[in-house]
Structure 1
């Protein structure tokens, strides 16, 4: 599960240095928190939150994000980095991260009483083990990805990073433990391809590799997957038609 040898990493570095924060659209169209639920794809590894954002809000954000100064990533990455070809915008925006965490129902569903497929409630200690510690919010490192036809993100591992999360007037030292991807497009919006595919490790060196786990795009779905030392090898498949839009942050725990 953990990064091995010289497998490519997805780093959070960027050539952009945006200081002026965007005037992000409000979340007034967010669904009630009680309608959200976490769906387990791979135990302790991959979960989704279907219908995290309504399609109307996704459409509003696509229109807004199209106005940002996106920069195309180079086709030849730095040594050790994964090959990715997309258009991206990256900014340190603690206020937007706080809003995304608190005003969308994400905090409630992540911190609330989860249920497994067997209907068993997960207590606080179980949740701490799941998320890797005491969750304090989202990383202020906000990334916007647009994948057009022919663009992709090759197989890689997501690294963990030390960050600072603002809680009220206090800044909390934290580290990232799970990647958060919010999909704004899907086949319903004309995006063909672009699935996120995970590659589990074989149980033994001589065993055949398990079947890949393919997470299809769904408008407004949030995908959370464990990263850092326990990250599963994964990729963003090539977009064959249309555009794939993603908002990226990371779940953070106290360090």
Structure 2
């Protein structure tokens, strides 16, 4: 799992936060629900909330219908979520949220082939953005739940080297280049994903993306990652499904 490089924020979460159980490498993948209705339900397009940062932040609205999001929330509520550690290791950002993490190449392949994301990112107007030839999605699947009082302090997402199985079982080495967050809910107060384009926490410069059920937020990570944070949830619950775009190495 990528480490999160911290800013200088020092606020700590409650002392009772316990070590996460979500990083068990032997965890068996769950039986993820089918994508019903069949995806995509509408023509997908990439939206750039800040045109000057089109090479770093992108949105795909209506990626999933709200009915599918609701079904997945019901399902992920049954997963063995665990609270993240209260005191992070040196060099990691302070975060308080519940999470589930699993290595699931089959589900990553389903997301890649059955949702329309493959066709979208390979479309000519956008394919130059991703840092190389996109070959699939990271099999490291993460589910995040942010309840009232949960947050993720300012940090950067690292890139990772992963191995994907391609046609005929051939393994290909790739590198993650963009974080891919799928919001499953939008009925919370707070919980915005906030980017700081000048690598400093200046509120008037902040670019805030509010959760929107069924919307994808993609942002570049690795060396070109923007400083970003998950604002504290004031009311309600924010659910996120995460993977990453993988390019041929």
* TM-score, with structure 1 as normaliser: 0.84
Gaps of 5+ in 1: 115-121
Give the drift of 1:131: 0.4
Alpha carbons 1:30, 1:53 under 8 Å: kept: no
Equivalent position of 1:227 in the other structure: 221
User: Alignment partner of 1:35: what SS?
Assistant: coil
Distance change in 2, residues 1:22/1:153 (3 Å):
same
Gaps of 5+ in 2: 9-20
1:157 aligned to 2:156? yes
Output aligned runs, 1:160-175, within 5 Å: 160-168=159-167, 169-175=169-175
Distance change in 2, residues 1:241/1:112 (3 Å):
same
User: Alignment partner of 1:154: what SS?
Assistant: strand
Question: Which of 89, 98, 108 pairs up with 2:100?
Answer: 89
Give the drift of 1:6: 6.3
Question: Which of 109, 116, 128 pairs up with 1:98?
Answer: 109
User: Alignment partner of 1:39: what SS?
Assistant: coil
Alpha carbons 1:33, 1:108 under 8 Å: kept: no
Rounded to whole Å, the distance in 2 between the matches of 1:21 and 1:6 is 30
Output aligned runs, 1:107-186, within 5 Å: 107-114=118-125, 127-128=127-128, 130-168=129-167, 169-186=169-186
Rounded to whole Å, the distance in 2 between the matches of 1:98 and 1:33 is 19
Rounded to whole Å, the distance in 2 between the matches of 1:22 and 1:162 is 24
* TM-score, with structure 2 as normaliser: 0.86
Rounded to whole Å, the distance in 2 between the matches of 1:15 and 1:95 is 18
Equivalent position of 1:247 in the other structure: 241
Question: Which of 186, 189, 211 pairs up with 2:205?
Answer: 211
Alpha carbons 2:39, 2:114 under 8 Å: kept: no
User: Alignment partner of 2:119: what SS?
Assistant: helix
Alpha carbons 2:183, 2:240 under 8 Å: kept: yes
Output aligned runs, 1:49-60, within 5 Å: 49-60=60-71
Superposition misfits of 4+ residues, deviation over 3 angstroms: 5-8, 30-34
Distance change in 2, residues 1:194/1:32 (3 Å):
same
Equivalenced residue count is 229
Give the drift of 1:30: 4.0
Give the drift of 1:35: 1.1
